[in-house]
Structure 1
Amino acid sequence: MSPTLPTRRLGKNGPLVPAMGLGLMGLSAFYGPPKPDNERFALLDAAYDRGERFWDTADMYADSEDLLGRYFTAHPQKRAHIFLATKFGNKRAPDGTTSIDSSPTYCVTALANSLKRLNLPAVDLYYVHRLDARTPVEHTMRTMARLRDEGKFKYIGLSECSAASLRRASKVVHVDAVQVEYSPFALDIETEQTGLLAAARDLGTAIVAYAPLGRGMLTGALRSPDEFAPDDFRAFAPRFSRENFPKNAVLAEKIADVARRKGVSPAQLVLAWVMKQGEDVIPIPGTTDVGRLEENLGALWVEVTEGEEEEIRRACEEVSVVGERYPKQFLDALFADTPEEEEMKKKKEEGE
């Protein structure tokens, strides 16, 4: 890793990686049409040159893996200096419909396809992006452990799993990272109801925080849902609906007020706040703009005081964030449980 950025350890057994990663979803998908390759390559070059070399993608992010494949083909010397993560589990059929498949068979197939698109023999971190409701997590983890031992990746991750799934998975093989939405806009992992943050800390599993800026809401840059392109994910997310947007913007305004008094941008304050939640928390904000990239990286040197921490916590308590994080059809996949092995075995024996 580059010595220019602070680092954090990826779980108790993992490597040191930049204390802030780079989420690549928005370069290719879900936030409007992608920019031309030369502009996207310029963003990747800027990240690399500034030492931001923990890159996060997934097979469902449109052409993201293909883009990286083209990038590494053009710059093969850079691959060795990048900690690269990708994911599987979300499937998109030719007709556009989506489903979740975390079965061992699909894990093998999906990884082979990802490596082909990336034009690489291996990645560094491989996640189960979502767990299905059919496959015991132990089955998936045994396959992940075998593929890791075959040299296809070095570290294992889960995303949006339940605390119970994480604990069960960890009995098979150590889970190095759990990726989950985490910000003042999404504190679900802290609750006793989910218990995910507590479980991760019990097990020595890092928390990789996606959407740490509340999908742009907490930067103060968003003023209205009218700003979203028709194919922007946020146009369909309840949290950003015309009814809920102004209610949720109140939290962004309170945080922006703290940032103004501190002399930093709202984005920098929020990212510094997320990192203050523990040395095991690594945010991965995404951007398509080099200026925003530099702004985000500036958060690595912002110190949030105890008073500021308390003020932001009070704001989170005073402002009830309204609306779900995802549209209704995707909610069941959040903090997902899987069937018990013995239950599946019994059903199989009974011929169900």
Structure 2
Amino acid sequence: MNTRSVCLTRRTFLLGSGVLAASLLLPPMEVLGQKSPLIQRAIPSSGEMLPVMGMGTWGTFDVGNDPAKKEQLVEVIQAFFDNGGRLIDSSPMYGRSESVLGELLRTTGNQKEVFAATKVWTDGRQSGIEQMRQSIERIGVDVMDLMQIHNLRDWRTHLPILRDWKEQGRFRYIGITTSHGRFHQDLEHILKTEPFDFVQFTYNLEDWVAEQRLLPLAADSGIATLINRPFQRGELFRKVKGATLPDWSEELGCRSWAQFFLKFIAAHPAVTCLIPATSKVHHMKDNMEAGFGRLPDQAMRRRMIAYYDSL
């Protein structure tokens, strides 16, 4: 049996187990041009509700002072908020993304609506303090909703400061992230020994190793999850190029492959929020539509996996 077969067996077991028993299946899409209910999930540590569809800024908001690109992003970010969005994730690692995000929030007047999330990505205590202060100033919020330790970098040094600043009210929540499977074992150990409100990692139809341990651990530990790389850096779209959506995807209200991919992820009950990134307005509207209406149940998720794997 090959590696993929082993993983698929494990995944099929999880899909049929209690891990997915609480999968959300909302009422059918409403008619007469009205949107179905916004899909939201609770942050376990507080009970605060978040729309399941958020937004990332890696590779899209690092546009410097280019006025044309900024104008385009004004439309993108407004479409995000107009369609129920709240959580926007950034990082000092993403070039000028934090500064551009802050400017766009001021331009569109959405400073109070945003759930601002960013990261500390440096070594050393003082360097971390200075970087986090800069992030708050750049994004332009009085209180950072979520501060995360990026890719576990110098986490032992930064974590006490994150806790102190949370107690002082500078942060509302704290978290830790990785985009690399090689860090999963370390991340698992950290989550078992240290209290966090959020954890961020990769999960999608191509890279679903997080189903094996991280998603169940987050659920058991009461930790909210942010899902990065939901399209696996475009790999999912490349695989389905030229293929048509199955007719039965209409049962979920899916009108595009993006919605197919996003709804699959969002249906996992341990997923709190997805953070796809885009610099195009029509892609943003398409992504956000996946945050309304129905989500697949266990049987439908298995069907989605089988169809994708057959392509």
Of 140, 155, 160, the match for 1:142: 160
Which one of the candidate residues 266, 270, 276 is aligned to 2:261?
Answer: 270
Aligned to 1:243: none
Give the deviation of 1:156 after TM superposition: 0.7
Per the alignment, in what secondary structure is the counterpart of residue 94 of structure 2? coil
Q: In the alignment, what sits opposite 1:184?
A: 205
Please give the alpha-carbon distance, in whole angstroms, between the structure 2 residues aligned to 1:260 and 1:110. Answer: 49
| Aligned partner of residue 233 in structure 2, secondary structure | helix
How far apart, in 2, do the equivalents of 1:75 and 1:29 lie? Answer: 18
Closer, same or farther: CA 131–52 of 1 in aligned 2, 3 Å: same
Determine if contact 2:215/2:271 at 8 Å carries over to the other structure. no
Map of 2:295 onto structure 1: 303
What is the one-letter code of the residue matched to 2:112?
A
Quote how far apart the aligned CAs of 1:289 are: 1.6
The reply to whether residue 15 of structure 1 matches residue 48 of structure 2 is yes
Distance 1:121 1:85 in 2: 13
Which residue matches 1:117?
138
**Unaligned 5+ residue runs, structure 1?**
90-100, 223-248, 320-352
State, as a whole percentage, how many aligned pairs show the same letter: 23
- Per-residue CA deviations over 1:121-172 (Å, capped at 9, x if unaligned) read 321001111123xx4x444321210121222211011101535545435644
Q: Quick one: distance in 2 between partners of 1:317 and 1:50?
A: 31
Return the offset for 1:213. 1.9
The 1:23/1:35 distance shift into structure 2, 3 A limit, reads farther
After TM superposition, the structure 1 = structure 2 runs for residues 5-154 of structure 1, keeping only pairs within 5 Å, are 5-13=38-46, 15-29=48-62, 36-76=69-109, 78-89=110-121, 101-132=122-153, 135=154, 137-154=155-172
User: CA 1:204 to 1:167, structure 2 compared with 1: closer, same or farther past 3 Å?
Assistant: farther
- Give the aligned partner of residue 201 of structure 1: 219
Relative to the length of structure 2, the TM-score reads: 0.75
Report deviation, 1:8.
0.8
Aligned to 2:23: none
Give the structure 1 partner of residue 26 of structure 2.
none
- Which is bigger in relative contact order (C-alpha 8 A, separation at least 6)? 2
Q: Residue type matched to 2:203 in 1?
A: Y
Match of 1:214 in 2: 232
Alpha carbon RMSD of aligned pairs, Å?
2.9
1:15-42 per-residue CA deviation (whole Å, 9 max, x = no partner) reads: 2111111112232249xx9952111111
Alignment of 1:257-296 (within 5 A): 257-263=244-250, 264=254, 265-296=256-287
Contact 1:55 / 1:84 at 8 angstroms: preserved in 2? yes
Asked whether the equivalents of residues 7 and 18 of structure 1 are also in contact (C-alpha less than 8 Å), the reply is: yes
AA aligned to 1:145 is R
Deviations 1:192-236 (A, max 9, x none): xxx322322221112211111222232x3x4xxxxxxxxxxxxxx
Task: Work out the CA distance in 2 between the residues paired with 1:169 and 1:103.
Answer: 22
Does residue 168 (structure 1) correspond to residue 190 (structure 2)? The answer is: yes
| SS of 1:13 mapped into structure 2 | coil
Asked if structure 2 preserves the Cα contact closer than 8 Å seen for 1:28 and 1:34, the reply is: no
Structure 1 CA distance, aligned partners of 2:289 and 2:148?
A: 28
Distance in 2, matches of 1:169 and 1:200, equals: 8
* Partner Cα separation in structure 2 for residue 35 and residue 10 of structure 1: 37
User: Residue 10 of structure 2 corresponds to which residue in structure 1?
Assistant: none
Give TM-score scaled by structure 1 length.
Answer: 0.67
Change (3 A) 1:205 1:85: same
* 8 A Cα contact 2:73 2:104, kept in partner: no
Structure 2 residues not aligned, in runs of 5+: 1-35
Deviation at 1:257, TM superposition (A): 4.6
Give the letter aligned to residue 314 of structure 1: A
**Contact 1:141–1:169, Cα closer than 8 Å, also in 2:** no
Contact 1:88 1:107 in 2 (8 A): yes
Q: Distance in 2 between matches of 1:272 and 1:105?
A: 41
Q: Which deviations, in whole Å up to 9, do the C-alpha atoms of 1:230-280 show, x marking residues without a partner? A: xxxxxxxxxxxxxxxxxxx2xx369x5554542331111111110112153
CA distance in 2, matches of 1:142, 1:46: 37
Aligned-residue offset at 1:65: 0.8
SS of equivalent residue, structure 1 residue 162: helix
